[in-house]
Chains A and B, each alone.
Chain A
């Protein structure tokens, strides 16, 4: 559901701040999906919904690497939009699945807006060659930071409005929900297991030890 205007504004600002954290300012990783979605859940008054969304998105975003000038999806604003919309919707696995799918797509859109901003920065934030006043550099740099914050805020706002509308439409459809929660759990499991490739397949024995430890924890519950 689309949040009320005040929550919408707060979530959009949160998305803008977290968009800055991803690359432009800080990089403290508060923009990771599980952190961002949890914060969005708190802002929207439903922390559990934010955590549920964030956990799945974190697993699916684990192996995304922002190396050099490569193209990659942007997680923060998309996670805020997904968690913010899910927090106000019916607490169903289908709505959660819709939020996860939307957030993955919206992350891709976010990545394209980052590219567009970087192209714009090539015109707006690069001074002409030659002697330069430090204050001029500071102005150009701070303007680029402000543009990134505005981009993240608008991206989050648009995501919240789109996903909120989508969830309201889905709310009219009588889904059979038995398969949705296992499907989400298995997707997350596969994504978490895929992280092994980052550490090298030669560490498969350590992965197996971890899996056995996880199975033991499940058995003891």
Chain B
């Protein structure tokens, strides 16, 4: 189940979201539990291919708990209610911790190390190791906790140190954001106060615009490229 969880989003779709993926992850457990009872195996597989969603790394928590409930002989209605209850919280919890904080922080670490002069392979290794330390821990912790706690996973989620990890990682991320941004200005191949004043403007614009800076930078670079083509053609 743990290995299959790495492919839980493989059939992501707008109808059942990761429903088919969840049935794919649960298939070994269902075969183990109901293998001797063909109709029950097919009925359980059909139920678990229905609509479901969760953050992919925390889907193991739901998968473990569902396997435990199936093993305990819980009624299908109860398992259905459990799935409906956890899917929202597992999605938002993972999105906030992993996508919003952990991934940008570790990616900033990689960029900062590279800009500070470390070789690419070392910066990338630091990123892959630090990012996946939390990623793999979440998958393993989720599956073990789900299998152990069953219906009580909500308590385990409340006691998990996600909030604390998110806060500390955000502190580091904010520091790295400033650090890497200044080093990026320095990589422009220019010196002089006029250039560094432009760098300061870029930093302030970045902080003010937030994620919209991507669109602004894209439009700006495209305009510069077109202007370059026009000027070169006329010269």
Using a CB–CB cutoff of 8 Å, the interface residues on chain A facing chain B are 23-30, 32, 34-35, 38, 47, 51, 55, 58-69, 94, 97-98, 100-101, 104-105, 118-119, 121-122, 125-127, 129-134, 137-138, 140-142, 144-145, 148, 170, 173-176, 179-201, 203-204, 206-215, 217-218, 221
Contact = CB atoms under 8 A, between A and B. Distances in A.
A174 B232 CA distance: 6
Interface stretch (B8-16, B78-86, B147-155): B8-16
A9 B16 CA distance: 34
Contacts of B49: 126-127, 132, 137
Contact of A94 (B53, B199, B216, B225): B225
A140 B110 contact: no
Interface in B2-30: 6-7, 9-17, 19-21, 23-24, 27, 30
Given A64-B214, A206-B178, A38 B14 contact: no
B206 A148 contact: no
A101 B224 CA distance: 10
Query: Which 8 A-B residue pairs are closest in the complex by CB-CB distance?
Result: A210-B178, A193-B206, A214-B182, A185-B188, A197-B210, A121-B13, A203-B174, A144-B11
A25 B46 contact: no
Nearest to B50: A129
Most B CB atoms within 10 A — which of A47, A61, A105, A133?
Answer: A133
B20 A127 contact: yes
B211 A214 contact: no
B14 A186 contact: no
Contacts of B30: 134
Interface residues of B, number: 102
A188 B184 contact: yes
Most B CB atoms within 10 A — which of A63, A105, A191?
Answer: A191
Contacts of A218: 182-183, 186
Given A131-B39, A190-B205, 20 more contacts: A25-B7, A28-B132, A34-B114, A65-B211, A68-B53, A121-B11, A132-B23, A137-B27, A138-B24, A173-B232, A182-B198, A188-B184, A189-B181, A189-B206, A190-B202, A194-B207, A195-B173, A196-B177, A201-B207, A206-B174
Contact of B184 (A65, A137, A185): A185
A199 B170 contact: yes
Nearest to B198: A186
What's the dominant secondary structure at chain B's contact region? helix
Most A CB atoms within 10 A — which of B9, B95, B101, B235?
Answer: B9
Contact of B210 (A180, A194, A211): A194
B14 to A, nearest CB: 5
B171 A141 contact: no
A50 B171 CA distance: 30
Contacts of A190: 181, 202-203, 205-206, 209, 213, 216-217
A120 to B, nearest CB: 8
Most B CB atoms within 10 A — which of A26, A131, A140, A214?
Answer: A214
Given A196-B177, A196-B207, A203-B170, A141 B228 contact: no
10 contacts: A101-B218, A101-B221, A132-B42, A137-B24, A144-B20, A184-B188, A190-B203, A195-B173, A207-B178, A210-B175
Nearest to B178: A210
Contacts of B170: 198-200, 203
A208 B184 contact: no
Interface string B153-192: 0000000000000000011011111111111111111100
Given A186-B188, A204-B207, A29 B171 contact: no
A104 B222 CA distance: 10
Contacts of A209: 175, 178
A59 B19 CA distance: 34
B43 A189 contact: no
A68 B96 CA distance: 11
Nearest to B175: A210
Nearest to A200: B170
B205 to A, nearest CB: 5
